[in-house]
Structure 1
Amino acid sequence: MKKYVAEPFKIKMVEPIRMTTREERVEKLKAANYNVFYLAADDVYVDLLTDSGTGAMSHEQWAGIMRGDEAYSGGKSYFKLLDAVKDIFGYKYAQPVHQGRAAEKVLFPTLLKKGQYCIANMHFDTTRAHVELSGGTPIDCVCEAAKNPAIYDDFKGNMDVEKLEKLINEYGKENVGAVLMTITNNSAGGQPVSVKNIKETAAVAKKYGITFVIDAARYAENAYFIKQREEGYQDKKIADIVKEVFSYADAFTMSAKKDAIVNMGGIVGIKDNAEMYENVKAMTIPYEGFITYGGLAGRDLEALAIGLYEGIDDDYLKYRIGQMEYLGSKLKEAGVPFQFPVGGHAMFLDAKALLPHIPYNEFPGQALALELYLEAGIRACDIGSYMMGNDPDGVQIESEFEFTRLAIPRRVYTQSHLDVVADAIIAIKERASEIKGYKIVWEPKVLRHFTAHLVPLDK
């Protein structure tokens, strides 16, 4: 079993968490309509619902909170953030927004016209929704290796570049509004993308005159995997890898609530296209606020500028990915199927393999997430057919994956917490055949997994 990588920090403050009984959890889950998003956080012991905005900020970031400039226009904290984006990513323009989906909301309508396509290695849920809200159609084009969770591949998040070019020719280049690269590839299991693949994808986009965008939520974790796995990058600094990766793109969106380790914040980065930047500014003002605060308090901008640097620290990243590898090694030893190797921010349990008796339209990923809560008060979420939703005709989409995602917050949980998680999963594996599926009894039209109501099936 892989040795746990010790934390490169001391704990200065603690937050009590409550342990519930199984009987309590049965009732809590019923009251939550069998949807983990409705559970009160106080009723969760280990919360792995998301790594977005749930990290622990450093003492420097908390000090920055006190230094934040709350001027409505032209505050110092805004310019500090601009300097950080220029330094780390090499981009001339940056627009702060309140989170990642806001970045998508202000950028995608400037790139996509009604009826156009956005082709990605894989779209995450909010990205997919914002492409559709812009009138576009999201198309996933992930490499074949990602589709087999059991096999090892260094870069399962990669774009299928050959397929990408075929799709552009099939649709017509004028009908493809953007090519998108999600790093790391969340929906494929938090899997990394290589520099080689990013460079090749950028070359195809440039060949056809299509804007190439990076979804940069987990840019630092992706850079760490590149350093560990890609030939020629072992001796390079994380900061240098980051700068090279972003040099191939025209723009990026970022949920800074992930690798920038803040509780709220996002960025649209634009390399050098002044017209694109003006269009983004025009969208920001009515939806997010004036351009120098973009829906954020000055203190948030200050913490974000600091967090961008902390997220690319080598010791921190070694510990961060080490947590995933430790949990993964325990589960692999016990024969639990998951997207292998582990991703950067989460463990993606292969619910299709663990619960083969539950069909996709009874949502095995969701069933496993609910069972984890019942077993030990652990909150996780579905990344599968339940999350995918329905097509325009109302027919349930069958996802290529049926994952249950355990997203690990940054600098929050210890080895003992991960041991509790591993023990709970292994216990569930022993009685997996007893677990039942679920059906939806109410759902919204968009992003249903956040608010849908479900009931367990008796069969």
Structure 2
Amino acid sequence: MNKKYTAEPYRIKMVEPIFETTKEERIELLKNAGYNPFSLASKNVYIDLLTDSGTGSMSQEQWGHMMTADEAYAGSKSFYKLEGVVKNITGYKYFIPAHQGRGAEQIVLPQLVTKKGMYFISNIHFDTTRAHVELAGARAIDCVIDECFNIELDHPFKGNFDLVRLEELILEKGSENIGGIIMTITNNSAGGQPVSFANMKAVKEISHKYGITLLIDGARYAENAFFIKEREEGFKDLSILEISRKTFDLADIFLMSAKKDGLVNMGGIIAIKDDELLYKKCQTYIVPYEGFPTYGGLSGRDMEALAQGLMEALDMRYLRHRVDQIRFLGDMLKEAGVPIQYPIGGHAVFVDCGKMAPHIAYDQFPALSVVNELYLEAGIRGVEIGSLLLGRDPDTHKNLKSPIEFMRLTIPRRLYTYSHLEIVGQAVIEVYKRRNELKGYVFEYESPMLRHFTSTFKPNIKETK
């Protein structure tokens, strides 16, 4: 390594063996999976970078607290412990647990859709958020700055809202037709890019001006706070907790897939600042969809692990190593000429497969092609974040074209070492060398919703733009 990267701030106490398959085996395994990496059995994956959602390692403290959990159906002491931690971090009055982020979205978003023809505006909606917006009868509009789409531009906060466009959209659609503004931090589909505090504050001012609810989709809020501390003037002397509190103070609702910056394998959060009526509506809905309001689909053990994990994720030593692991892999690829989103984000390296394989049309999914080739090369599983994930227009049913066709190489928390990531980098570089040989994919079966999860494909014989 020709740059300094932070060493792991932990010692390894337990290990899980992983195994390699042969190239011949992987060819057959991928074919049997319908050329969809989601359908591969994990035992046949050597290094799994599909997602950082619930795939990390928990600490000895988390495992220890699980042994003291209260599994009472109602009023569990583990709930009250978790509630205290969430309120301490957010400063919000109300808290309801959910089994994961999409469970939280399922409960809250329909409460904000009061009539037909409504919209939600986000810097970029992620897949399940977009799906739940549409299931609630509304439409999702993305409103990120143009700098996001210039992958070579060194901009510190590419996840920011386009503030001019945001206000134009509100005036165009009518403020009464906006169910909410959703601030996604960090901005996953933008390449794991952070959002500045100044931008969030400006969004707050716009939402307040027009009387629109502001939500934070904060699966990676601690990573976002780290980048604010590192890159934004006036924050270097503040702690991650202090920056997070200032961030949450801007919004009305906080939704979280706690499987990311909660450092757990399962969990979600609904936190509401002070809207008692909304809280009571969500409290009613949580019972049939998730569970009783004091467990919301989680066991006492889950809540104990989450209460501890939320605090561990605020530690600067952990966050610096976390970001350095991503930077290590990103620097390796960038130095080899592989086109990646830059600056490197907080949870993954995003490879621009549209630039890597421009001969593959967007509706033949160039990023899926690169993802599959990476698995064939070295048994490494990444994920497509492009036109396949974006899906179809809910009204016209035409394939939507993503501005960038990303392959996301998502690093689970506290799971892999720099040596693992070096192997990943070498494999991506080998695929890059033969990028002109890659072929696109077409559907054999297309799932009607969130199609990237369960659809099946076949290689396309002809590649035409």
Asked whether the two chains share a fold, i.e. TM above 0.5, the reply is yes
- After the TM superposition, which residues 401-420 of structure 1 pair with which residues of structure 2 at under 5 Å, given as runs? 401-420=404-423
AA partner of residue 169 (structure 1)? L
Match 1:422 to one of 422, 425, 428: 425
Give the match for residue 398 of structure 1: 401
**CA shift at 1:89, angstroms?**
1.1
Match 2:318 to one of 316, 319, 326: 316
3-state SS of 2:384 partner:
strand
Match 1:210 to one of 196, 199, 212: 212
3-state SS of 1:450 partner:
helix
- After the TM superposition, which residues 61-80 of structure 1 pair with which residues of structure 2 at under 5 Å, given as runs? 61-80=62-81
AA partner of residue 358 (structure 2)? P
Find the aligned partners of 1:274 and 1:2 in 2 and give their Cα distance.
51
CA deviations 1:172-230 (Å, max 9, x no partner) are: 11000100000000010000000000000011001111000000100000000000000
Give the count of matched residue pairs: 459
Find the aligned partners of 2:5 and 2:26 in 1 and give their Cα distance.
30
AA partner of residue 47 (structure 2)? V
Q: Does 1:270 align with 2:244?
A: no
Find the aligned partners of 1:2 and 1:397 in 2 and give their Cα distance.
40
Give yes or no for contact 1:439–1:455 (8 Å, CA) kept in 2. yes
**CA shift at 1:272, angstroms?**
1.0
Gap regions ≥5 residues in structure 2:
none
Give yes or no for contact 1:2–1:329 (8 Å, CA) kept in 2. no
3-state SS of 2:421 partner:
helix
Find the aligned partners of 1:150 and 1:445 in 2 and give their Cα distance.
35
Q: Does 1:444 align with 2:455?
A: no
Moved over 6 A (4+): none
AA partner of residue 389 (structure 1)? G
AA partner of residue 340 (structure 1)? Y
- After the TM superposition, which residues 6-405 of structure 1 pair with which residues of structure 2 at under 5 Å, given as runs? 6-113=7-114, 114-391=116-393, 392-405=395-408
Give yes or no for contact 1:4–1:415 (8 Å, CA) kept in 2. no
**CA shift at 1:137, angstroms?**
0.3
Find the aligned partners of 1:225 and 1:409 in 2 and give their Cα distance.
19
AA partner of residue 50 (structure 1)? T
Give yes or no for contact 1:2–1:325 (8 Å, CA) kept in 2. no
Give yes or no for contact 1:3–1:326 (8 Å, CA) kept in 2. no
CA deviations 1:368-388 (Å, max 9, x no partner) are: 110110010000110000111
Find the aligned partners of 1:47 and 1:244 in 2 and give their Cα distance.
35
CA deviations 1:421-448 (Å, max 9, x no partner) are: 0000111111110011111121111100
Find the aligned partners of 1:450 and 1:281 in 2 and give their Cα distance.
30
**CA shift at 1:68, angstroms?**
1.0
AA partner of residue 285 (structure 1)? V
Find the aligned partners of 1:92 and 1:306 in 2 and give their Cα distance.
20
3-state SS of 1:308 partner:
helix
Give yes or no for contact 1:383–1:404 (8 Å, CA) kept in 2. yes
AA partner of residue 408 (structure 2)? R
Find the aligned partners of 1:349 and 1:8 in 2 and give their Cα distance.
28
Gap regions ≥5 residues in structure 1:
none
Find the aligned partners of 2:398 and 2:175 in 1 and give their Cα distance.
29
- TM-score, with length taken from structure 2: 0.98
AA partner of residue 429 (structure 1)? Y
**CA shift at 1:458, angstroms?**
2.4
3-state SS of 1:67 partner:
coil
Aligned-CA RMSD value: 0.7
- TM-score, with length taken from structure 1: 0.99
Give yes or no for contact 1:265–1:296 (8 Å, CA) kept in 2. yes
Find the aligned partners of 2:202 and 2:262 in 1 and give their Cα distance.
27
**CA shift at 1:401, angstroms?**
1.4
**CA shift at 1:15, angstroms?**
0.4
3-state SS of 2:188 partner:
coil
AA partner of residue 441 (structure 1)? E
**CA shift at 1:161, angstroms?**
1.0
**CA shift at 1:111, angstroms?**
0.8
AA partner of residue 153 (structure 1)? H
Find the aligned partners of 1:2 and 1:86 in 2 and give their Cα distance.
39
**CA shift at 1:393, angstroms?**
2.4
**CA shift at 1:273, angstroms?**
1.0
3-state SS of 2:67 partner:
helix
Match 1:454 to one of 429, 454, 457: 457
Find the aligned partners of 2:327 and 2:397 in 1 and give their Cα distance.
39
AA partner of residue 235 (structure 1)? D
CA deviations 1:382-422 (Å, max 9, x no partner) are: 00001111113221111111000011000000011000000
Percent identical: 56
Find the aligned partners of 1:88 and 1:307 in 2 and give their Cα distance.
12
AA partner of residue 100 (structure 2)? Q
Find the aligned partners of 1:143 and 1:67 in 2 and give their Cα distance.
47
AA partner of residue 372 (structure 1)? L
AA partner of residue 91 (structure 2)? G
